[in-house]
Amino acid sequence: MSKAIFITATDTGAGKTIISCAIGLALKKKGLDIGYMKPFQCSGDDMEFICRALGIKDEQELVNPYYAKEPLAPYIAFKRAKVKIDLDKVFNAYKELSRRHEVLIIEGVGGLLAPIKKDYLIADLILDLDVPALIVARAGLGTLNHTLLTQRYALDYGVKVKGVIINNYQGETTAEKTNPDVLKEFLDVPILGIFPRLKNVKSKDGLERLAKTAGKNIDLKALLKTEKPLIRQLIKRDKDFLWHPFTQMQDWLKDEPLIIEEAKGCYLRDSQGKWYLDGVSSLWVNVHGHRKKEIDAAIKRQLNKVAHSTLLGLGNVPSIELAKELIAIAPPGLAKVFYSDSGSSAVEIALKMAYQYWQYLDKAKTRFIHLENAYHGDTIGAVSVGGIDLFHKVYQGLLFESYKADSPYCYRCPEGKSYPLCNFECLERLKEILEKKHSEIAALIIEPLVQGASGMLVWPPGIYKKMAKLCREYNVLLIADEVAVGFGRTGKMFASEWEGVSPDILCLAKGITGGYLPLAATLTTRKMFDGFLGEYKEQKTFFHGHTYTGNPLACAAALANLELFKKEKTLRGLEPKIKFLKEGLERFKGLPNVGDIRQKGLMVGIELVKDRQTKESYPWEEGIGVKVCRKAREYGVLLRPLGNVIVLMPPLSITKEELKQLFDSAYKAIEMVAG
């Protein structure tokens, strides 16, 4: 890949072409192989001039994929010419040219906000090409304003700016003379050159002067310099100062960790510049991809108003708007939203709410039922209703007691039956507890349809509805923990929709902000809410509230997330992806150590076994899942296993091509490690 630089300007006519040409000529003189690209040209012959000057031999459709006759912004010029712009054509040309040349100079049109397509500006193109930009400014009156506007907007928008070149400098007026020093004071990026006005540059002699002036007046070294990653230092500091979650730090300290520096769409980039597909949505949170314009903008807009104000005794705008939206999309019956900031706290709140609710009904129902293999978070209440020994056993002494019913883990059916002939025998234990103990049971807590953390255990259809019915029969509240399965992961907005269940309490987190900021919500019915109403002196208040409850930035991100679901028809778009993924997973059945493949929507668990016949598990210490995920990294995909289960849970915005990369890499990794 070549080094690429995108030449943009403070305005049209600032001299992008001259500067592109001058830089190209000067670099060529230094013996570098230069490529040039002008993705959009609207009238004129800039492109031809540069190609001639630099001796460019590449095909015209690569150098200039789009040409329009009228001198207008591409958006309108191509619209009037009835040419539909296909950005892939530009990206493919870029890929090809950057493969061919050591340095690729890409020249923009107009300035950063020149529109190309609807909702797509030059700045978006620079971001999508992922190349640094050079800003060409013209010397004179108005330069300070234009240059600072351009640079600030670029940096705010996420464009990397190498620096500024002041062009057309004659040093005659006071404005021109003072421009460089004032700009130096106000800019956040360096001035990489002051370029004089040159006459007759198109002549042979003119080109020679251009090259010479660029060599002398432009800091070409700085222009091409790649930031040296501070990887060694970062790793050392990480190891010196951090304690990572769910991680044996002794291993971590010996290991060579990946450090993520930035992201785009479904990909994460590490501090050495390598891109990886985010195969588990950054731990099951990302929805519409990283750096999603609309969510970025919503957070920035909110930041311009207020970053945080408390919900204890005050309201704030985004939390109100979001509560309304959440109730509008939640299963029927849910009427009130209580905010917090993690899945665990959403669960903690659900448990406390249910417990307190019954006290006001003089029923003293104080116990809970949870399922085997359940995971509801890491705080003490959430761990008390957890069913994964590995995570939960060590804290036994700290926990309150809770009844445990069977989990519908069909691959290892507790009754040794198989669906659908089993007649849901795994519900018997739940029925028994309810029958005997219902008078003391406040609520049943479950992860509907997919028990995530225990290995993506997908439930047989119909069982969730039966659980809900049992709760009604025995007057026990149903808490649906949709922290992992909510916000489209299963193919519907909420997993409860699959079986038409309306829980009494719904816990939400993870995908609620599209994977941007920590926010959680516990939704409940009006009936439960009303149960807490009373005179101040009665002390029926729900005594719970975290400092950052209802944080405006997080709520603004969540609103933008929900808006995107509507605007992009995300759920409808999932159907073909889910089908494609299902087909892709078929092949895994041929791998000898794949015991079970479980999928619901875009949630997948591939359980690896030592012996397929006997379903004998790999010993936990063997770390087979970790090894497979390590291998997948080599193929450019980031995964995180759950014991012997390989999890695939990409952002909902993943494309079919990316999905293919995901399951092809997972397949290869399993084949190599456990094949």
Angle at the Cα of 180 from the Cα atoms of 177 and 182, rounded to 5 degrees: 100
Question: Which residue number, 39 or 503, has a Cβ lying nearer to ligand PMP?
Answer: 503
Q: CB of 373: closest distance to ligand PMP in angstroms? A: 11
**Surface-to-core class of residue 655, CB atoms within 10 Å of its CB (0-12 exposed, 13-18 middle, 19+ buried):** middle
Query: Cα(47)–Cα(64) distance, rounded to whole angstroms?
Result: 8
Using the contact rule CB under 6 A, the part of the chain among 169-177, 481-489, 529-537, 603-611 near ligand PMP is 481-489
CA dist 173 → 141, 169, 178, 279, 434 (Å): 9, 10, 9, 58, 88
Residues within window 109-138 making contact with ligand PMP, judged by CB under 6 A: none
Question: Which residue number, 367 or 376, has a Cβ lying nearer to ligand PMP?
Answer: 376
Binding residue count for ligand PMP, defined by CB under 6 A: 14
Q: CB of 291: closest distance to ligand PMP in angstroms? A: 22
CA dist 107 → 26, 64, 448, 589 (Å): 16, 10, 53, 50
Considering only 265, 408, 452, 643, the residue that binds ligand PMP (CB under 6 A) is: 452
Question: Which residue number, 40 or 409, has a Cβ lying nearer to ligand PMP?
Answer: 409
Q: CB of 376: closest distance to ligand PMP in angstroms? A: 5
Coil, strand, or helix at residue 237? Answer: helix
């906000």: which residue's tokens? 113
495 contacts ligand PMP (rule: CB under 6 A): no
What one-character DSSP code corresponds to residue 400?
Answer: P
Q: CB of 520: closest distance to ligand PMP in angstroms? A: 7
CB neighbour burial string for 253-287, b if at least 16 within 10 angstroms, e if fewer: eeeeebeeebbbbbbbbbbeeebbbbbbbbebbbb
Residue 580 is encoded by which pair of tokens? 């494609």
């290991």: which residue's tokens? 255
Coil, strand, or helix at residue 240? Answer: helix
Residues within window 135-174 making contact with ligand PMP, judged by CB under 6 A: none
Question: Which residue number, 61 or 389, has a Cβ lying nearer to ligand PMP?
Answer: 389
Return the bridge partners of 636, or none.
Answer: none
Question: Which residue number, 4 or 483, has a Cβ lying nearer to ligand PMP?
Answer: 483
Q: CB of 481: closest distance to ligand PMP in angstroms? A: 5
Residues within window 499-538 making contact with ligand PMP, judged by CB under 6 A: 509
Using the contact rule CB under 6 A, the part of the chain among 15-23, 48-56, 351-359, 478-486 near ligand PMP is 478-486
Gap between the terminal Cα atoms of the chain: 34
Query: Cα(32)–Cα(242) distance, rounded to whole angstroms?
Result: 44
Question: Which residue number, 138 or 510, has a Cβ lying nearer to ligand PMP?
Answer: 510
647 contacts ligand PMP (rule: CB under 6 A): no
Q: 291 CB contacts (<8 Å, ≥6 apart)?
A: 127, 158, 262, 263, 264, 265
483 contacts ligand PMP (rule: CB under 6 A): yes
CB 338, CB 357: distance < 8 Å: no
CB neighbour burial string for 173-206, b if at least 16 within 10 angstroms, e if fewer: eeebeebbeebeeebebebbbbbeebeebeeeee
CB 356, CB 593: distance < 8 Å: no
Question: Which residue number, 344 or 407, has a Cβ lying nearer to ligand PMP?
Answer: 344
Backbone angles phi, psi at 455, to 5 degrees: 125, 30
Question: Which residue number, 18 or 453, has a Cβ lying nearer to ligand PMP?
Answer: 453
Question: Which residue number, 187 or 446, has a Cβ lying nearer to ligand PMP?
Answer: 446
Question: Which residue number, 15 or 452, has a Cβ lying nearer to ligand PMP?
Answer: 452
Q: CB of 470: closest distance to ligand PMP in angstroms? A: 21
Q: CB of 375: closest distance to ligand PMP in angstroms? A: 6
Backbone angles phi, psi at 31, to 5 degrees: 90, 10
Q: CB of 454: closest distance to ligand PMP in angstroms? A: 10
Q: CB of 392: closest distance to ligand PMP in angstroms? A: 13
State the binding string over 318-357 for ligand PMP (x if CB under 6 A, else -). Answer: ------------------------xxx--x----------
Query: Cα(313)–Cα(333) distance, rounded to whole angstroms?
Result: 26
Q: CB of 378: closest distance to ligand PMP in angstroms? A: 6
Q: CB of 187: closest distance to ligand PMP in angstroms? A: 41
Question: Which residue number, 447 or 658, has a Cβ lying nearer to ligand PMP?
Answer: 447
Q: CB of 234: closest distance to ligand PMP in angstroms? A: 25
State the binding string over 367-386 for ligand PMP (x if CB under 6 A, else -). Answer: --------xxx---------
Q: CB of 315: closest distance to ligand PMP in angstroms? A: 25
Question: Which residue number, 42 or 642, has a Cβ lying nearer to ligand PMP?
Answer: 642
Query: Cα(257)–Cα(80) distance, rounded to whole angstroms?
Result: 52
Residue 393 is encoded by which pair of tokens? 């056993």
Query: Cα(67)–Cα(78) distance, rounded to whole angstroms?
Result: 8
Q: CB of 330: closest distance to ligand PMP in angstroms? A: 17
Considering only 42, 453, 480, 602, the residue that binds ligand PMP (CB under 6 A) is: 453
State the binding string over 573-592 for ligand PMP (x if CB under 6 A, else -). Answer: --------------------
Question: Which residue number, 289 or 455, has a Cβ lying nearer to ligand PMP?
Answer: 455
Residue 96 is encoded by which pair of tokens? 């090809």
Query: Cα(461)–Cα(69) distance, rounded to whole angstroms?
Result: 60
């079970």: which residue's tokens? 596
Residues within window 597-616 making contact with ligand PMP, judged by CB under 6 A: none
484 contacts ligand PMP (rule: CB under 6 A): yes
CA dist 668 → 148, 535, 659, 660 (Å): 50, 64, 14, 12
State CA 362 to chain mean position distance.
Answer: 46
549 contacts ligand PMP (rule: CB under 6 A): no
496 contacts ligand PMP (rule: CB under 6 A): no
Question: Which residue number, 314 or 398, has a Cβ lying nearer to ligand PMP?
Answer: 398
Q: Which residue is nearest to ligand PMP (CB)?
A: 343
CA dist 387 → 13, 207, 346, 444, 563 (Å): 67, 75, 18, 13, 36
Q: CB of 374: closest distance to ligand PMP in angstroms? A: 8
555 contacts ligand PMP (rule: CB under 6 A): no
Return the bridge partners of 451, or none.
Answer: 457
Q: CB of 521: closest distance to ligand PMP in angstroms? A: 12
Query: Cα(322)–Cα(514) distance, rounded to whole angstroms?
Result: 13
Question: Which residue number, 343 or 488, has a Cβ lying nearer to ligand PMP?
Answer: 343
Helix axes 552-567, 293-303, angle to 10 degrees: 150
Question: Which residue number, 452 or 531, has a Cβ lying nearer to ligand PMP?
Answer: 452
Using the contact rule CB under 6 A, the part of the chain among 49-57, 77-85, 399-407, 447-455 near ligand PMP is 447-455
Q: CB of 347: closest distance to ligand PMP in angstroms? A: 6
Binding footprint of ligand PMP on the chain (CB under 6 A): 342-344, 347, 375-377, 447, 452-453, 481, 483-484, 509
